[in-house]
Amino acid sequence: MQKIINRLKKMGLSATQIIFNLVTSGLICCTTVSGHSMMPTVHDGDRLLYNPFFKNVERGDVVVISHGGDMLIKRVIAIGGDHLTISTYGSVAINGEWQNETYINPQEQSGESIDVTIPENELWVMGDNRGHSLDSRNFGTVELGDVVGVVIIRKNGGNDGK
């Protein structure tokens, strides 16, 4: 991908033209967010560019997944082999280390505690708006093969999340 971008730069193309060429060639894909489960990181109406040719998925990545015929935007919280603990107050620990999740919507959270080891080639995904997200707390782990792409660029849809 980097070789293609460098070639386009040498041709004198602007960043917008490069992105347009990558999207129209299918090397990156675009989707529009519908919903509030990833606020404050991603808002309803935002446009996302994602890489459908990702090589790996890491904790913290925002991904597009296919679930039950729908495309969902979620954050990867844990990957295969991780031991995940979620307290009844919503605090998250990975492999015994409590996480400082600065990206989540600051709200009071409560629910059932979770203590699970993520199977290999599976992910635990959650929305950043934890009180209003359909995610792995509801449907369990996601198979790596259900990841459609890893988000690389977010463009505000103009509604500022309202």
Cα distances from 21 to residues 7, 119, 162, in angstroms, run 12, 38, 31
Q: How many Å apart are CA 37 and CA 57, to the nearest integer?
A: 20
Within 8 A by CB and 6+ apart from 155, the residues are: 46, 47, 48, 49
Q: How many Å apart are CA 145 and CA 85, to the nearest integer?
A: 24
Q: Which residues are catalytic?
A: 37, 74
Helix intervals (H) in the chain: 2-10, 15-24, 136-139
